[in-house]
Every structure is written in C-alpha cells, then in structure tokens.
Amino acid sequence: MGEAEGRGREEGDTSASSTPSASWRFTIRERRYCVPKDFQHPGGQGWMRQHTGKDISHLFPSGTDGGVDGEGCGKSAVHFHSSAAVRLLERFHRLEKEQSESGDAEGSEVDKKDGAGSKVEVVNGVSIDLCKPLVFQVGKLRENYQEWVHKPELGKPRFFRSEFCEQLSKTKWWVVPLVWIPVSIYLVFLSLWRCEGLVGTGDGLGSVINKRGNLAAILLICFVFGTLFWSLVEYAVHRFMFHVDTSSYWCNTLHFMFHGCHHKFPMDDMRLVMPPAGALPIVLMVYAVEYLFFGAYLAPVVLAGTLTGYMVYDMIHYHCHFSEFTNRIEWLRQIRSSHMDHHYRDFTKGFGISTPTWDFVLSTQRSKASLL
C-alpha cells in the first residue's frame, strides 16, 4: 500500500484481532474497506499485512474525485496511490457495506464475483461483458479501445470460447526458461562448431580466429553483446509495437491478445510472460538483424545472448508483479516501482523493464518517483 511507517490505530479503526481470516480491512476517512486476502496488491502483500486494521488515509490524500496524481511523491516517504487505485478500491468499500448488511458468509461470495470482474462495461454505447470471452469483443470499441484498455481491472478474464484456444493463451512463468535455455545452449554450440573450422585459416574471420583462445574470447564478446542488445529490443518492442495506437476492429483485437490484456488485467499471472509461439516471430526478426551484421558463424551465439537477456527480462517482469523479494533489493524495488507506475499512472512512460537505460536516453522515464 505504501512505504511509510503505518500510523498508529486511531479511534474507530478495525483492530487486527477482529479481522476475519478471509480478508484485510482498512479505514480511509471513516470509510471502511474489506479486501479479500487473495487479492494481489501491485506492491506486494507485505503492504497489506503492514496496514491491515489501520487508518490509511495518509496514503490516499484528498483530491479530485478522491484521486491522486502523484505530485510530491518524490519528496515524501509515503507512496500516494493513483486515481486508478482509488477507482479499484471503491468496489471493496461496496463489499464492506454488503458484508456488514448480510454477514461475512454471504460477503465471501460477493468477493469471488467482484474479484472476477463480473460486470458489463459500457463505453460510448458499446457493451463489453467481462464475464464472456473478451478477445472478439474488444475490437468493436474502435477508437475508444485505447482509453478502455488502459484502465486496469481486477481478475483473470477468459479470452476464447474454445477451451483449446483458451489454454494456448496461458503460460506459466517457468515455461520461458524451460523452452529457451536449451535453445540458447544449442545456439552457442552451433557457433562454436561453425567457427572451429576457421581456426588457423587466413581468410576473413579465420584470420582473427588464429587459435582457440581467440575463438573463446570472440564467442564470449558476441554473447555479451547479444545480452546487452536485448535491452534495446525490449524497449523498442514495448514502446513501438506493444503500445502502437490502434482503432480498427482487427488491430484492437491483435493488440489486446499481445499486450492490451496485460494492461487491462495487470495481475493476471497466466498472461504475464509471452507464450513461446507468440515470441517466436519476434525472435526470428531479431535473428535476421543479427545475421545481417554478424553472419552465419557468429549470429547464433549473439542470438543466444539476446535470448538470455529476454529470459532475464521475463523473470524480472513476472516477479515485479508477483514476488515479495523484489521489495527487499533496492534496484529491483525501483524497477518494480517504475513498472507499476507504467501500469497505474502513465503508460506513456517507463517502457524499459529489465533496465531503465533507454528510457533515460530517449526521455521516456517516469517524471515522478512513487515509492512502492
């Protein structure tokens, strides 16, 4: 919820001892909120544990519509929540009201329904039913799609009516290293095998690789270059491909499948890493560029480095959303904070995830620090 020390309990706060095991409870300006314990807070559940049973008004300063624009976050030890967070929190005030009227047993059913986003959204006369498969609904939003998709919601949506297609659209985080580590190892040995035939020859690359020590050094340099090159690929793909402005039916549909779904439902853990089949076209495009510059002998090991950078990125990305330990390591905490800002404050900033280098170079870094 924030990084400031929690304020002491004030009169009227719900005590931790009375908190039901199924929920976290908070008070904000005398309004009571009940948040299910399985709720995935973007800053980690540590913040929920730290502030449960307390008045957290200091994390939600008064403003237009009760929202916060983040001004002053960099000058304070307190993390001010965004207007998107305020909007999402309101449903838990409704839960608190319903639970107090009907009892916690019935309220738990409400938790399940509301957490799944069971409602119909109407955008300029176009209805989107979040209970039904979404992929072929979002295209009809046309020019309103970009505004809709960048208003985050809770839950894990269904993509397709077909169960087979639905399962193909989901990927567990460990699938990424399981698939790409063997590929990367193969590519390193492919370059080694191709280059060994050049050792001692005097033509072209063979004049540089005049002994095996030189070959090992060259392969290592190419691998490291490929790893660093990934940071540019990551930034370019995220900014110029995943955040392209779409408005037609099929462009909206494709955008939603590749990246829009992650912005609409940022805490959906099954659609947080790229399925290997979806990543393959990007991998082939990157290999074509590397082949053009490095040739058949060295391009494979450069690609192995790029794939290693990609795996590191995807693991960091996943843990930014779902791991507590990112809050214990300063540079990971800063990466997580920047990425949560990208989701909940300003999606036009913070395109680098594994590194902020290109955001600084191209002036797309977040303008204010919000300490998650």
* Helical (H) or strand (E) element with 195: helix 175-196
Please tell me whether the overall predicted TM-score, pTM, comes out greater than 0.85 for this model. no
CA dihedral of residues 358, 324, 73, 65 (deg, nearest 10):
110
What pLDDT does residue 108 have?
39
Encode pLDDT of 101-114 as tens digits.
555 444 433 344 44
Domains of the chain, first to last: 16-115 (3.10.120), 163-361 (no CATH)
In the annotated binding site for Zn(2+), the residues are 238, 243, 259, 262-263, 317, 321, 339, 342-343
What pLDDT does residue 200 have?
57
Question: Per-residue pLDDT for 69 more than 60?
Answer: no
Reported as a pLDDT band with limits 50, 70 and 90, residue 77 is very low
In the annotated binding site for heme, the residues are 41, 81
**Which residues lie closer than 8 Å to 154 by C-beta, 6 or more apart?**
39, 88, 91, 114, 115, 116, 117, 265, 267
Helices of type H across 27-174: 45-51, 83-102, 104-115, 145-149, 163-168
The whole-number average pLDDT for the span 195-215 is 66
Average pLDDT, the chain: 80
Question: Per-residue pLDDT for 147 more than 50?
Answer: yes
> Minimal CA–CA distance to 298: which of 308, 287, 307?
287
Cβ neighbours of 295 (radius 10 Å): 13
The whole-number average pLDDT for the span 222-248 is 96
- Asked which of 199-213, 259-273, 319-333 is least confident by mean pLDDT, the reply is 199-213
Work out the angle at residue 106's Cα, subtended by the Cα atoms of residues 108 and 134, and round it to the nearest 5 degrees: 55
In the annotated binding site, the residues are 41, 81, 238, 243, 259, 262-263, 317, 321, 339, 342-343
